[in-house]
Amino acid sequence: MLNILRQGYRDVYGEQRGRVMLYTDLLFRISSIWLAEASAAGAPVWLYRFDYETTILKMNGLHAFHATDLPYLFGNFSSVLVKPLFLLNRDMDEVLETARSLQEDVVKFARTGKLSWEPCSSDGNIPAKCYAVPPTVEPCLPPQILSLYEETSYRKRSFTPGENPVPTE
């Protein structure tokens, strides 16, 4: 099954990026999607995906990665830990606009419990607002990638109480 996943990711993202995205999804995105899908039966659930890449991230081929949204969320671009991410961005307008958009949505959700895009559903419709330039709303994962997980033991173990959590594949 892992070979099928690898090939699917290569088909969608290319060789190098596909490898990175496979492990990103296994660690972060697929479990978030399954949790959103399961939770949507009882309450509205919204997801977002942070896709904005600074110039230095693009040049290094790193792309956006886990927690790169935090400086945008908190508006902290001068911390010694994150300042290097912005060294090559001569014009910070895009960065600040992305931060403003993310912050507005978080505040709106905190105040109203709702967001402007469609919530996730328990039938597998899992939209996400993707913070990039410009922001878009699209499936959290490409449908052809999401469908690859349907028959995996990872999904089956994730939804079957008492199953052995250690992979056997």
Q: Is residue 169 part of a domain?
A: no
Other beta carbons less than 10 A from residue 158's beta carbon: 16
Q: pLDDT tens digit string along 108-164?
A: 999 999 999 999 999 889 999 999 999 999 999 999 999 999 888 888 888 776 655
Report residue 148 as tokens: 């690859």
* pLDDT value of position 160: 74
Query: CA 118 to CA 68: how far, in whole Å?
Result: 24
pLDDT value of position 169: 55
Residue 51 — φ and ψ, nearest 5°? Answer: -110, -5
Whether residue 164 lies inside any domain: the answer is no
Query: Residue 51 CA to chain centroid, in angstroms?
Result: 8
| Mean per-residue pLDDT, 79-88 | 92
Q: Tell me which residue range forms the domain holding 125.
A: 2-158
Cα-flanking dihedrals φ and ψ of residue 119, to 5°? -75, 165
Answer whether residue 104 is part of any domain.
Answer: yes
Indicate whether 151 belongs to any domain. Answer: yes
Query: What confidence score (pLDDT) does residue 158 get?
Result: 84
pLDDT bucket at 70, cuts 50 / 70 / 90: very high
pLDDT of amino acid 162:
60
Beta strand 127-131 pairing with 47-50: parallel
Q: For residue 119, tell me if it sits in a domain.
A: yes
Q: How far is CA 93 from CA 54, 90, 96, 97, in A?
A: 12, 9, 5, 6
Tokens for 119?
A: 């919530």
Tokens 């958009």 correspond to 101
Q: What is the pTM of this model?
A: 0.86
- Does 166 have pLDDT greater than 70? no
168 domain-assigned: no
**Nearest-5° angle of CA 18, CA 33, CA 153?**
70
Mean pLDDT calculated for residue range 90-119: 97
* Angstrom distance (rounded) from CA 52 to CA 94: 9
- Whether residue 84 is predicted with pLDDT greater than 70 in this model: the reply is yes
Count of domains in the chain? 1
Mean pLDDT of the region 66-72:
94
Give a yes or no: residue 46 inside a domain.
yes
pLDDT, position 156? 87
Q: What is the pLDDT of residue 151?
A: 84
Whether 6 maps to a domain, the answer reads yes
**Does residue 159 sit in helix, strand or coil?**
coil
Predicted pLDDT of residue 62: 86
Rounded Cα gap, residues 5 and 18, in angstroms: 10
Question: Which residue type occupies 158?
Answer: S
The pLDDT assigned to 67 comes to: 92
User: Tens digit of pLDDT for each residue in 27-61?
Assistant: 999 999 999 999 999 999 999 999 999 999 999 88
